[in-house]
A and B are shown apart, each in its own frame.
Chain A
Amino acid sequence: MQSKGNIFNIQHFSVHDGPGIRTTVFFKGCPLACWWCHNPEGRGSEIEVMNGKTIGRTVDADELLEEILKDRIFYDESGGGVTFSGGEPLAQPAFLKEMLVRCRKHGIHTAIDTSGYVSKASLRQVLPFTDLFLFDLKIMDPVKHLRYTDVSNVEIIDNLQYLLSKKARVIVRVPVIPEITFTAENLNQIATYLKQFDPVPEVNLLPFHRIGEGKYNRYNIRYKLNHKKEPKQEDLVLQISAFEKAGIPAKIGG
């Protein structure tokens, strides 16, 4: 029997979630509650009604595959593929694995956008079928990580280490939130940590945008981020060159 999963959006023509033109599937449910999250409606794992609007739907693998295959010609032309994002896609490991296997069978490039806060078993399961991991690394200090995301980062860092040791293709994504993740201390710690690997994984800085804010109002979710500063372009450029000086390939955007 094919498995089913809960998703809350399918975004065609995605160009910021891996190489080429991609279809991004947003899985519903996330164990983290980052203050800056721009998909707060994707946190709960169940289909729910928020402020009168039904968020999410249950799809079966056939149906989702059909939707993904629709844009095949664009993947072929651009070197794109599918990205499973969320929420946390690895929170629905059986469904995710089935989707990855099916996409692989059709020759489609697969990427997973993960918080890293997942069980090692689930990672082990999907590893052979995943071409690229977009791995979020937010804050190195475990206490601060807990404060701003609701979970500690021990497991996250351990999982990143695991993937890199298995020579999985990984891009480390750092959300740029001024005063929280975008501090000299945090960025230095990230650089020091990543430098030890061979090869050193690429880092993408994802600048914070205020566009998520509207959703908090729409769905009556408390917005905890007290400042609404978007990072300055010149600071981002400086940080990229700092990473590169440290021997870490880096760029702005995904």
Chain B
Amino acid sequence: MLTRVAKLRQQSTEKKPTISAERALLVTEIYSDPAMQKVSIPVKRAMTFRHILAHKNICINPGELIVGERGPEPQACPTYPEICLHSLQDLEILKNREKIPFDSDEETQSIYAEKIIPFWEGKSVRDEMFRQLPQEWKDAYEAGVFTEFMEQRPPGHTVLDDKIYHKGMLDFIREIETAMKSFEQSGATAKVEELKGMKIAAEAIINYATHHAEKLETLANFEKDVARKMELEKMARICRKVPAHKPDTFWEALQYYWFVHVGVITEVNPWDSFNPGRLDQHLMPFYEKGLAEGTLTRERAKEILQSFWIKFNNHPAPPKIGVTAKESNTYTDFALINLGGVRSDGSDAVNEMTYLLLDVIEEMRLLQPSSMVQVSKKNPDQYIRRFLEITKTGYGQPSVFNTDAIIQEMLRVGKSLADARDGGASGCVETGAFGKEAYILTGYFNIPKVLEITLNNGIDPKTGKEIGLRTGDPVHYKHFNELMQAFEKQMNHFIDIKINGNNIIDCIYARMMPVPFLSVLISDCIQNGKDYHDGGARYNTSYIQGVGMGSISDELAALKYHIFDKKTISMEGLLHALQNDFKDFEEFHKILINDTPKYGNDNDYADDLTRAVFEIYFRAIDGKPTARGGVHRVNLLPTTCHVYFGSVTGAMPDGRKAWTPLSEGISPVQGADRKGPTAVIKSAAKIDHIRTGGTLLNQKFTPSFMQDEKGITAVLHLIRSYFRLDGHHIQFNVVKADTLRKAQQEPEKYRDLIVRVAGYSDYFVDLTDALQEEIILRTEQMNGID
């Protein structure tokens, strides 16, 4: 790594995230302008975007090759009061909380007290949501049956395709003009207003680049170092060219993307940040051209990429509070770079750029951007061996995805073959047609909690509140089927509440918070004259993310096995044990843990229940319409929500003690899988991944296992086998429990220790205590003598 890259990297990783009031002030300023009352909402949003970009600080860091910061400087995070207004108390919590803090100075706090809070109180999207959502939704939300993604951040959650590498913003503006003319003729006023907004936004990003060019020119004038002076002049020329025009060089392509990135995350604070997607595919033509013309070398390309990588790491996820912080407690903002897979024509997409990017990932070893590798049956083993060399160092990246399954998932729901092949996974594991789809995560769903409510005849035992249906006292069930039927009724009940809420929230965002800039970028918003938040994209999907598949499988298996089959205990007895959190039931608790069928052991007794729960969940959600003209789909992932959901769920029949974490993703309950990774994979593959929009499987290996070629080869075959069985995704932690224990004792010595959490990697010492414990308890896969 070159010294200047190392320096930028160090600055990025060592600087503590802070809150900047810059954006909040600019938004407040323009919303206060009386002229703004007279324009349509899309135009108002576009003018807000323009106002922020025109007046924010232009930051150029010494030595960097890619420019543009969301805040006034790296790690200075803006806020979005029009969406979620932080109170002074929130700022205090953010400042002082032990994990994932955001510092704020007195000036910021007084700006909030005097200007931001008085103006926005009661006016944010969040306020509007909580005014409109019905009581039953609030009850279920407060009980922890589900979470709500849109409560502090807008939908977002999309990835870019290759269009910006072929078109400049001026080309987009021409497309907007054409569409506008045809809608003007037909009198579609709302569409014309939306397109006006898009045009203003596209112009705003060009001006934003020009501001950078001007500043770069000034810096070049004062620069003493001749080489840097020439570099600054070149960067200025790049900023005058892109994003107005299409890029012609490698450097221009990356700078163009970065302006777009900053634009998307400045317009609003979307889930998850934003992401260039199939970067090796996008960059390869520029790379080849540069090498052929002699204007680029591999080393220079690498340096520009490293500078690009640091830009992602400079941008923590905007501060989250309350339940949202619990479900996604990290600075990571889930920009997931995709490598490999197949090209639009179905051929092997692994190329020289894939390997160069893997070198960058390995060398940079940053939390952001996240990286993943798509593995198709067409990709060579050599490629898998290369990324496993990175995985084995314990960094948790890249995570591994099955291209062939992802394509089938998209074809099942009617996307075109070319769009499916050009897509991939983003965020943690979510499937999407890049550049053409709004695929929104709407919230996590606590499946075990619904069983708990079923076992209590509609009452949440934690609060004593009746929030579910009266499906009957379970002590009267004669057959296990009756219990399953009651559980299904409760599942449908809560999922209907969640879907109803989603539709209310969809309408609020479509009306109050259009995103004209993002709409320029995603097909076919321009042609449809419709906003990204209003169903303008080619495909529109809303996901509800199921949590606790391992836990629910084991809970149902324990009920079936001990109450109905073996009659080890009566239902009353079991419920009594749960109420007492197994106190005075120690022997029975041991039986539950050791002598009960468990998911993750390739045992059909338990795994058939996994299948049954999947079918219930799928039937309740798949194909249900959304308010913006899309459909609901399922996926199965937790981020950090299995810890939060566990903290609101009492003792359960699988022997899990009250308030402890649930299983994560589709992984088995921590420690319940006792037959090694092949059995875990077989169990996990019994879920029909093709009918999901993503599943998440974690495996933990001891470092010694992956030490030699034999271990690497075995893991390669494990991946290939899982993918033959249509598995969607697998990721690896390569670390010893012992190391993690030491890191708990002496965190200062383990500052750099990175682990895989759920859909992302994080510094181990930044995780909450509960999450640290959960990761330690995950089963360590090893082999014989390891």
Q: Taking beta carbons and an 8 Å cutoff, which residues of A are in contact with B?
A: 11-17, 20-21, 24, 38, 70-71, 73-74, 76-78, 80, 209, 211, 253
Contact = CB atoms under 8 A, between A and B. Distances in A.
B33 to A, nearest CB: 64
A73 B678 CA distance: 9
Nearest to B781: A13
Interface stretch (B204-212, B337-345, B469-477, B712-720): B712-720
A77 B708 contact: no
A73 B725 contact: yes
B710 A12 contact: no
A78 B717 contact: yes
Nearest to B714: A15
A14 B782 CA distance: 9
B16 interface: no
B665 interface: no
Interface centre among B713, B714, B720, B725 (most CB of A within 10 A): B714
A173 to B, nearest CB: 13
B783 A74 contact: no
A77 B710 contact: no
Contact of B717 (A11, A14, A21, A211): A21
Given A17-B784, A70-B679, A70-B682, 15 more contacts: A12-B678, A12-B679, A15-B714, A16-B785, A21-B717, A38-B785, A70-B602, A71-B678, A71-B682, A73-B724, A74-B718, A77-B724, A78-B714, A209-B785, A211-B785
A38 B785 CA distance: 9
9 contacts: A12-B678, A13-B781, A16-B710, A16-B785, A70-B678, A70-B682, A77-B720, A209-B785, A211-B785
Contacts of B580: none
Contacts of A71: 678-679, 682
Contacts of A20: 717
Given A70-B602, A78-B714, A253-B708, A14 B724 contact: no
Contacts of A77: 717, 720-721, 724
B711 interface: yes
A211 B724 CA distance: 35
B154 interface: no
Nearest to B685: A73
A118 B725 CA distance: 41
B369 to A, nearest CB: 31
A16 B708 CA distance: 12
Contacts of A76: 721
B598 to A, nearest CB: 15
Nearest to A11: B784
A12 B680 CA distance: 11
Nearest to B710: A15
B571 to A, nearest CB: 31
A17 B710 CA distance: 11
A11 to B, nearest CB: 6
B675 interface: yes
A13 B783 contact: yes
Contacts of A78: 713-714, 717, 721
A252 B49 CA distance: 64
A11 B713 contact: no
B677 interface: yes
A14 B666 CA distance: 24
Given A21-B717, A253-B708, A253-B710, A74 B678 contact: yes
A13 B785 contact: no
A80 B716 CA distance: 13
Contacts, number: 63
A20 B679 CA distance: 16
A74 B722 CA distance: 9
Interface residues of B, number: 22
Interface of B: 602, 675-679, 682, 708, 710-711, 713-714, 717-718, 720-721, 724-725, 781, 783-785
Contacts of A11: 676, 783-784
A16 B783 contact: yes
Nearest to B725: A73
Nearest to A73: B721
A39 to B, nearest CB: 10
A13 B783 CA distance: 7
A31 B783 CA distance: 26
A16 B784 CA distance: 8
Contacts of A17: 784
B784 A14 contact: yes
Interface centre among B602, B676, B720, B784 (most CB of A within 10 A): B784
A12 B681 CA distance: 12
Contact of B783 (A15, A38, A209): A15
Interface centre among B678, B682, B711, B725 (most CB of A within 10 A): B678
A12 B717 contact: no
Contacts of A70: 602, 678-679, 682
A15 B678 contact: no
Contacts of B602: 70
A71 B721 CA distance: 10
List 7 tightest A-B contacts by C-beta distance, closest first. Answer: A78-B717, A13-B676, A12-B676, A77-B721, A15-B714, A13-B678, A71-B678
A77 B722 CA distance: 10
A211 B704 CA distance: 14
Nearest to B677: A13
A71 B784 CA distance: 17
Contacts of B725: 73
Nearest to B708: A253
A13 B570 CA distance: 38
Contacts of B676: 11-13
Nearest to A23: B678
B395 to A, nearest CB: 23
A20 B715 CA distance: 10
Nearest to A24: B784
Contacts of B678: 12-13, 21, 70-71, 74
A38 B784 CA distance: 10
Nearest to B705: A15
Interface centre among A11, A14, A38, A77 (most CB of B within 10 A): A77
Given A21-B678, A70-B682, A15 B711 contact: yes
Given A14-B784, A70-B682, A73-B724, A21 B710 contact: no
